[in-house]
Structure 1
Amino acid sequence: MLYYTLVFLVIALIAGVLGFGGIAGASAGIAQILFFLFVAFLLISIVVALIRRV
């Protein structure tokens, strides 16, 4: 999931440099959503691992 976040971020950067504002904005939005999903899943997996350990 983090890989796809970086892919969309690179697409957004390239599109922004080339002047495609709509595509850049959409790609940046998708990258932001994927990043926060990644962080949420990371926190959930850490909590579950700590609960299983006890």
Structure 2
Amino acid sequence: MLKQSHKSSPTHSLTVLYIAGLSVIAGLFIFEQFLVEKSLEYQFTSSRVINIA
């Protein structure tokens, strides 16, 4: 029988790239959510100052 190394098979390398890509996308979504929350918090505190003035 022919033995194929899993590390050199095209499906293994594509799977690793796919998982890496999904991980990068998930990380970007988490970072973006953090930025949106900080922006909303800043706007909320600014609106309080404007309403008091």
TM-score using structure 2 length:
0.64
Q: Hey, which of these two has a bigger chunk of helix by percent?
A: 1
Greater relative contact order, per chain length (Cα 8 Å cut-off, separation 6+): 1
Residue number among 29, 35, 44 corresponding to 1:38 in the alignment: 29
Could you tell me which residue of structure 2 aligns to residue 51 of structure 1? 42
Q: Number of residue pairs matched?
A: 36
Which structure 1 residue ranges, 5 or more long, are not aligned? 1-18
Runs of 4+ aligned structure 1 residues displaced above 3 Å come to: none
Distance 2:17 2:11 in 1: 10
Q: CA RMSD in A?
A: 1.3
